[in-house]
Structure 1
Amino acid sequence: MASIDAQPINSKGFRLSLKIDGEEVGHCYVYLIKNDLHERPYALLEDVYVKEDFRGRGIGKQLVLEAIELAKKQGCYKMIATSRFGREALHEWYEKLGFQKYGFEFRINFE
């Protein structure tokens, strides 16, 4: 008879924020994920956000480039960033930063 054993794992990540005159105007998260198929972890880039009044000033780019460097320093072999369909301008922006369209994201929303 088959059984499934769920074992907790410890993962780590970072929240990067950019402040101007003490005010946080942008942030992003980098999660480091390890699995048994690779010796090194990979990074998941999430929640890249810049306040509306500060968009178009390179803040998002600065955050993402810093996140990439952080992932490299942590020994990651890749970084994944996701984006919904229909956001072509954002997709082009990620491509300018060195990301490539690679596959599809499949998900189940619980809420």
Structure 2
Amino acid sequence: MAIANMKIKSKTVNAKGIKFFVEEENEIARAYLYIMHNDLHEEPFGLLEDVYVAENHRGRGLGTQVIEQAVKVAKEQNCYKLIATSRKSRPQVHQLYQKLGFYERGLEFRLNF
């Protein structure tokens, strides 16, 4: 059978999302942890996404706290890795991730819709 005629199949796989946040009158810090599976490992992996601290609350350790909580839960969920994404224009965020034990591994490619 020619490759062009092969049928692409799909299967829904479940993922779990957990939001960690700090509120005063409004939400002032947050991070999302997504727990997902792939066929490479029996254990799940984690994706850390949308880490945010309101500008007037930065420097108080809130980002560190929500990230550390996400790391703790990823470990409790037996994740074999935790991936954090960040824009190249955010070197302070990169420093925070590195301070918390993350290291630069690759590139992120994106499509906006």
How does the TM-score come out when normalised to structure 1? 0.90
Q: How many Å separate the matches in 1 of 2:53 and 2:92?
A: 15
Corresponding residue SS for 2:18 = strand
1:43 corresponds to which of 40, 43, 46: 46
Q: Is the aligned partner of 1:8 residue 2:12?
A: yes
- Per the alignment, residue 19 of structure 1 pairs with 23
Query: CA shift at 1:95, angstroms?
Result: 0.4
* Stretch deviating more after TM superposition (3-12 or 62-71): 3-12
1:33 corresponds to which of 11, 31, 36: 36
- Per the alignment, residue 63 of structure 1 pairs with 66
Q: How many Å separate the matches in 1 of 2:19 and 2:110?
A: 23
**Gap runs ≥5 in structure 2:** none
Corresponding residue SS for 1:28 = strand
Q: How many Å separate the matches in 1 of 2:112 and 2:6?
A: 28
Number of residue pairs matched by the alignment: 109
Query: CA shift at 1:87, angstroms?
Result: 2.1
Is the 2:14–2:36 contact (alpha carbons within 8 Å) kept by the matching residues of 1?
no
**RMSD across aligned C-alpha pairs, in angstroms?**
1.3
Q: How many Å separate the matches in 1 of 2:27 and 2:63?
A: 12
Larger Rg: 2
**Gap runs ≥5 in structure 1:** none
Q: How many Å separate the matches in 1 of 2:110 and 2:78?
A: 27
Q: How many Å separate the matches in 2 of 1:79 and 1:41?
A: 9
Identity %: 48
For 1:17-60, what per-residue CA distance to the aligned partner results, in whole angstroms no more than 9, with x for missing partners? 1234x643211100011001100011000001111221110000
Q: How many Å separate the matches in 2 of 1:79 and 1:91?
A: 15
Instruction: Find runs of 4+ consecutive structure 1 residues off by over 4 angstroms.
Output: none
